[in-house]
């Protein structure tokens, strides 16, 4: 175990996990069923199952994952995953809620401005529309990119 139970999964531990281990954790969260290291390595396109075992062992040390009696791995029921409350899991995919929220807010600002003020040839109007439209497009594209990338982690055929 990395720390005692009173300081389990404080912010510094989250940064120690690393990108590939995060992919393994997200794949387990999306799959929701116990998964063997070979299956996990195949779906995440890892070089070998021992690489998957390394990342799974790391997650076991952080008490996020547990090994079943059959040698598969699953999310530990005791895992402190409150930091994932900001993430939306839909159809085996992941999208951060803040990206969706910001996209909706800036899109709403854009249309409310158009409907209430309208567009005139002033610099202020063009600037306000350009900023709100750019923010809406960027946050929407980022939410879409996250959605597509999370499909690579899915364990479904």
* 75, 82 Cβ separation under 8 angstroms: no
Exposed (0-12), middle (13-18) or buried (19+): which is 77, by Cβ within 10 Å? exposed
pLDDT at 119: 76
Nearest to 100 by CA among 47, 69, 136: 136
* 103, 136 Cβ separation under 8 angstroms: yes
Half-sphere exposure of 128 (CA within 13 A, CB side): 17
**pLDDT greater than 70 at residue 6:** no
Which whole number is the average pLDDT over 62-79?
Answer: 87
pLDDT at 142: 83
pLDDT at 96: 75
The residue behind tokens 């720390």 is: 3
**pLDDT greater than 50 at residue 76:** yes
Strands in the chain per DSSP E: 65-67, 73-75, 87-90, 93-96
13-22, 52-61, 97-106, 138-147: the lowest-pLDDT one:
13-22
Q: Is the Cα torsion angle 32, 97, 79, 9 positive or negative in sign? A: positive
pTM for this entry: 0.56
SS3 145: helix
- The domain ranges of the chain are 5-80, 86-151
Give tens-digit pLDDT for 14-24: 567 777 788 88
Which whole number is the average pLDDT over 118-138?
Answer: 86
Give tens-digit pLDDT for 8-62: 445 556 567 777 788 888 888 877 788 888 988 888 888 888 898 898 988 888 8
45-59, 89-103, 130-144: the lowest-pLDDT one:
89-103
Mean pLDDT over all residues of the chain? 78
Token pair of 33, please? 């069923």
Dihedral (Cα; 154, 30, 44, 74), 10-degree rounding: -140
More confident residue, 80 or 28: 28
Q: Per CATH, which fold does 5-80 belong to?
A: Arc Repressor Mutant, subunit A (1.10.10)
DSSP-derived secondary structure letter, 46: -
The residue behind tokens 């040390």 is: 61
Token pair of 135, please? 């923010």
pLDDT at 151: 56
pLDDT at 156: 46
């Amino acid at each position: 175990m990395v720390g005692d139970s009173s300081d389990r999964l404080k912010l510094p531990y989250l940064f120690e996990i690393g990108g590939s281990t995060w992919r393994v954790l997200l794949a387990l969260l999306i799959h929701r069923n116990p998964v063997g290291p070979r299956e996990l390595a195949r779906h995440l396109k890892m070089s070998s199952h021992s690489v998957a075992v390394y990342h799974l062992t790391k997650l076991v040390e952080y008490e996020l994952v547990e090994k079943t009696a059959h040698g598969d791995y699953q999310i530990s029921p005791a895992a402190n995953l409150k930091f994932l409350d900001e993430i939306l899991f839909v159809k085996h995919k992941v999208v951060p809620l803040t990206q969706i929220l910001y996209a909706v807010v800036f899109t709403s600002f854009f249309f409310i401005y158009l409907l209430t003020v309208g567009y005139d040839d002033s610099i202020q109007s063009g600037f306000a529309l350009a900023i709100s439209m750019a923010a809406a497009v960027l946050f929407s594209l980022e939410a879409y990119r996250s959605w597509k990338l999370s499909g690579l982690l899915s364990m479904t055929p």
